[in-house]
Amino acid sequence: MGKLVSAAGMNALVTGASSGIGRGLALRLAHEGARVALVARRVPELEAVAEEIARGGGEARVLPCDVSDRAQATGIAEQVLREFGAVDILVNNAGYGHHRTFLEWPLEDMERMMRVNYFGALYLTKALLPQMVERGRGWLVFLASVAGKLAVPDESAYVASKFALVGLGESLSFELEGAGVHVLNVCPGTIRTDFFDAEALRRMPAVARRMMTDPGPLIDAIMKALRRGQHELVFPRFVGLGSVVRAIAPGFMRWSVRRTVLAAHR
């Protein structure tokens, strides 16, 4: 139970589907035979994804939405249920981040980041989970971050939103055990997408830039994790060692993080 053997014939909703990881997952799910609802704010980019899916013989629906707006998110969920009949796979991927110290971070942006990164996932999960439980089938995917497991300087608001998302997904995975709904938390390291703008790259430690990978291998890993019925995916796997180091040697971990981040700002 919980293993996604095939996405063929299923209905999926992917947020943040206009670019990056969301786009890659939407294309992969459609390629495997799922009907995909594409959710994001940028309509031209969503339409381009839908056209690519159509050229491959798949089916997609463009649904512009700001997931941080509760009314919009709830309305989109209701619309998809009316048009698709059901949603089997919900990929909560929408999110953004910045690299700033807490003191220089505008409060308005910190609030918005929590609304997009956490509350957007909360709204759609709350709206779509009941029909999954009722049917005894469903998959929830939360695109969090390694920053949702390990706090680092210069990302306080982002880290807080991802810690919240990881906590939500992990708690739900226990609550839904036996209900036929499977939860997968995804915690990637640095992935080469539009997420990392010039500001982020400038402030990013050299070691993080060296570890940056393309989205393709992550998409492969997510699909493999779903087929295996995993509850958590840390990608690449070795970045998960940070949690082990923090548990065993917290002082060393603090020294290492401070040294790495300070070196990036010299």
Cβ pair 8, 32 in contact under 8 A: yes
pLDDT of 209 > 60? The answer is no
Select which of 96, 118, 123, 158 is catalytic: 158
Active site residue 96: no
Instruction: Work out the percent of the chain whose per-residue pLDDT is above 90.
Output: 73
Closest CA to 94 of 38, 169, 33: 38
Q: What is the value of pTM for the model shown?
A: 0.89
Domains of the chain: 11-241 (3.40.50.720)
Question: Please, which pLDDT band fits residue 99 given cuts at 50, 70 and 90?
Answer: confident
pLDDT band for position 61 (50/70/90)?
very high
pLDDT grade, residue 222 (50/70/90)?
very high
Q: Specify the pLDDT at position 45.
A: 97
Q: What CA–CA distance (Å, rounded) separates 15 from 142?
A: 10
Can you tell me the distance from the alpha carbon of 224 to that of 233, in angstroms, rounded to the nearest whole number? 10
Predicted local distance difference test score (pLDDT) of residue 125: 98
Concatenating the DSSP letter of every residue in 10-56 gives: -EEEEETTTSHHHHHHHHHHHHTT-EEEEEES-HHHHHHHHHHHHHT
DSSP conformation letters of 100-115: --TTTS-HHHHHHHHI
CA distance 42 to 143: 19
Least confident of 45-49, 116-120, 149-153, 217-221: 149-153
Q: How far apart are the first and last CA of the chain?
A: 51
Phi, psi of 166 (to 5 degrees): -60, -40
**Mean pLDDT to the nearest integer, 21-28:** 97
Find the mean pLDDT for residues 68-97: 97
Helix (H) or strand (E) holding 234: strand 232-235
- Lowest pLDDT segment from 133-147, 206-220, 222-236, 238-252: 238-252
Collapse the DSSP code of 191 into the 3-class scheme (helix H, G, I; strand E, B; otherwise coil) and give the result.
strand
- Least confident stretch, 125-139, 145-159, 232-246: 232-246
Give the closest residue to 131 by CA, choosing from 183, 75, 60, 81.
Answer: 81
Average confidence (pLDDT) over 209-233:
88
* Mean pLDDT of the 146-165 span: 93
Q: Which residues neighbour 179 within 8 Å (Cβ) at sequence distance 6 or greater?
A: 133, 136
- What would the mean pLDDT of 127-153 be, rounded to a whole number? 95
Our CA dihedral for 26, 11, 181, 146, rounded to 10 degrees, sits at 10
